[in-house]
Amino acid sequence: MADETPQDGPQDVPQDGRIRDKLIATKEQWAREGRGLTGETADPARDRLPPGQRLVETWPVLDLGIVPRVSEANWTLAVDGLVDTPVTWSWADLQAQPRERVVSDIHCVTTWSRYDNQWEGVSTRHLLSVVQPRPEARFVLCHSSDGYTTNLPLEAFAAEDALLATGWEGQPISRDHGGPVRVVVPKLYFWKSAKWVKRIEFLAEDRRGYWEVRGYHNDADPWREERYSE
């Protein structure tokens, strides 16, 4: 199944950097080797740290090598597919929506976790109330301005702590971390939280994203240690 990669098609915002082919090949090798797997599971109701994770205090920067020059002035978000009310929001439109503050943890597939991140943004549940997904919509595909994609079941996207995040720790999310707007879905490994989000597409059938077609698990539950595809 094809995915949208950073090399495919024209980009709508300027891009800095280039694809780090060696890094991507290394992460594909990790998937083949099962790097970091412990074979354990945990209960999120009891265990805060998922299997194989270690705590960090910083927020490491991870990307494919391309950093889009997205600003508040040129940011837009298209929400379309199987919805009754498609929208295209500008930054001003986003700022006009109700704001939420959420505290949640980050769990990265590269084995680090960071506790108690303070986020601010627009809840995905509010977005759903605006666009009204059709009954046949069961999946979401997030598209980023660097060409990255990642897929989610609708119920994961609609989690109570999921956000279109614009702020982190009381400050705007930096460009390196996906600002001005990134998706945050805390209950899944963090590659599911797309940086520089520009489009959210609602689908009847699942369509795997950038890492999912490169050996990474489709569901990405950290407590089941769903790092890689079987």
pLDDT tens string, the chain, 230 residues long: the values are 333 333 333 347 888 888 899 999 999 999 999 999 999 999 999 999 999 999 999 999 999 999 999 999 999 999 999 999 999 999 999 999 999 999 999 999 999 999 999 999 999 999 999 999 999 999 999 999 999 999 999 999 999 999 999 999 999 999 999 999 999 999 999 999 999 999 999 999 999 999 999 999 999 999 999 999 97
- If one counts the domains in the chain, the total is 1
Is the Cα dihedral 151, 155, 157, 162 positive or negative? negative
Give residue 9's pLDDT: 34
C-alpha distances in angstroms, 211 versus 31, 89, 105? 10, 27, 21
In a domain, 53, yes or no: yes
In a domain, 230, yes or no: no
- Report DSSP letters for 163-220, one per residue: EEEEEETTEEPPGGGTTT-EEE-TTS-GGGS-SSEEEEEEESS----TTGGGTB-SS-
Give residue 230's pLDDT: 72
In a domain, 5, yes or no: no
Give the pTM. 0.92
Q: What type of residue is 130?
A: V
Give residue 18's pLDDT: 86
**Looking at residue 21, which CATH number applies to its domain?**
3.90.420.10
In a domain, 2, yes or no: no
Give residue 17's pLDDT: 87
Per the structure, the complete domain to which residue 77 belongs is given by: 15-224
In a domain, 6, yes or no: no
In a domain, 73, yes or no: yes
CA atoms of 151 and 165, how far apart (whole Å): 18
Phi and psi for 29 in degrees, rounded to 5?
-65, -40
Give residue 4's pLDDT: 36
In a domain, 182, yes or no: yes
In a domain, 30, yes or no: yes
Using an 8 Å Cβ cutoff, are 152 and 185 in contact?
yes
